[in-house]
Amino acid sequence: MDDSHSVEETAFVVDEVSSIVKESIEGAIGANFYQQNRVNVWTSNVVEQCLSQLSKLGKPFKYIVTCIIMQKNGAGLQSASSCFWDNTTDGREHHYSTSTETVWLGDHCLSNLGVKPVHSVSQ
């Protein structure tokens, strides 16, 4: 592939990605209560919407999106991620939101692999 992309084109723009993630979550779930039978649909919707919006950005990136939805019950949840990539071109972003039922959205990673960055949005 062409290696002569400018830095701006191939940089990981945190703001854009963050807004996309936020909108996807709000659009797919909104302020709904946790319902077991609908959780599958919600996660699929969130992730798909995220990914489609990100791919529309048209950047030479690969993306990874992860979504975690948990019911608010007093239990604790931790999430961590480690990445073996190129720090100059790759990055991650995460978004977390709660409602009366916890909808927990985690990390979003973006990596540029050569000219094909990997971007992972994990919520």
Partner 1 sequence: MAEECNDFSIMANKPLPLSQEILAQFNLSLATGSCVPGPPRRRLGSISTHRSSKEQPKDQPLHRPMLLRAMTGPSSDSSFLSPNMSNSHISFSKRFSFAGWHQGGRVSFSGLYLPEPVQEIYKENTYRTGPEEGSRFSASRTQQITQATLDRYLEAVCYSPDSCSQLCQMLSDLVLSKLKDVNPPRYKLVCQVVVGQSGKQGVRVASRSLLNVDTDSYTSAVFQNQSLFAVAIVHGVYFE
Return d(Cα 73, Cα 69) in angstroms, integer.
12
106 binds partner 1 (CB under 8 A): yes
Kindly identify the residues of this chain, within the stretch 21-80, that bind partner 1 according to CB under 8 A. 34, 36, 39-40, 43-44, 46-48, 51, 54-55, 62-80
20 binds partner 1 (CB under 8 A): no
Kindly identify the residues of this chain, within the stretch 76-105, that bind partner 1 according to CB under 8 A. 76-86, 90
* Closer CB to partner 1, 22 or 115, in the complex: 115
- Rounded least distance, CB 42 to partner 1, Å: 8
For residue 1, the Cα-to-chain-centroid distance in whole angstroms is 26
Determine phi and psi for 91, rounding to 5 degrees.
-165, 175
- Rounded least distance, CB 36 to partner 1, Å: 5
Return d(Cα 100, Cα 9) in angstroms, integer.
39
Return d(Cα 24, Cα 68) in angstroms, integer.
14
Return d(Cα 88, Cα 83) in angstroms, integer.
13
109: three-class secondary structure by DSSP: strand
Question: Where do contacts with partner 1 occur on this chain (CB under 8 A)?
Answer: 1, 34, 36, 39-40, 43-44, 46-48, 51, 54-55, 62-86, 90, 106-107, 109, 111, 113-116, 118-120, 122
